[in-house]
Amino acid sequence: MRTTLVKPRIAPATKKDIPLIRELILELAEYERALPGEAPVTEKNLARTLFGKKPAAEVLIAYLGDEPAGFALFFHNYSTWLGKRGIFLEDLFVRPPARKHGIGFALLRELARIALKRDCGRMDWSVLNWNDLAISFYKRIGAKPMDDWTTFRLTGDALAHVAGAEK
């Protein structure tokens, strides 16, 4: 018997997707081995930052049939060398049961289409060093690791200290 392959469907998220987006973010946090409480995101935060007056990011949701299978959250950055906007992919996550169905590639393809439509010069993202499956996938599609760059981050007390707003 021949099985029918279900093609992933990608759709921009809307306000009604806020609970689903939060659920997917928490699943991603668990996958990335976050400690409890390290992803305190709330539906209220998501409503304000994704669908408020000045959205900070956009979300694509992937479906396999009628089931939500994953998401990509992205925003614009800027390349001074290119003199163009780019897309920074903050998160890409595919639920484990939905993997190996082309969903990750479908999300990246849609992001690439958005980048070209918006005249962006590039797409950037980070991947955890231990995520060999993702690294292998990204290399297979032609993405190049930026080994000459190290990502730095300020959060919490360190961010407040640098801002001169120590508690």
Give me the pLDDT at residue 117, please. 98
Task: Tell me how crowded residue 23 is: count the other CB atoms within 10 A of its CB.
Answer: 15
Report whether pLDDT(167) > 80. no
List domains and CATH numbers for the chain.
9-163 (3.40.630.30)
Q: In sequence order, what are the residues at sequence separation of 6 or more whose Cβ sits closer than 8 angstroms to the Cβ of residue 106? A: 8, 10, 62
Report whether pLDDT(131) > 70. yes
pLDDT tens-digit map of 64-118: 999 999 999 999 999 999 999 999 999 999 999 999 999 999 999 999 999 999 9
The pTM for the full model equals 0.90
Banded pLDDT at 166 (limits 50, 70, 90): low
Give me the chain's average pLDDT, please: 92
Give me the pLDDT at residue 151, please. 86
Known catalytic residues are 138
Q: To the nearest whole percent, how much of the chain has pLDDT over 70?
A: 96
Report whether pLDDT(34) > 90. no
56-62 average pLDDT score: 98
Give me the pLDDT at residue 2, please. 42
Give whole-number Cα distances, 106 to 1, 36, 114, 153, 158, in Å.
27, 30, 12, 30, 38
Report whether pLDDT(27) > 80. yes
Give me the pLDDT at residue 156, please. 85
Of 74 and 153, more confident: 74
Rounded Cα–Cα distance for residues 46 and 73 (Å): 12
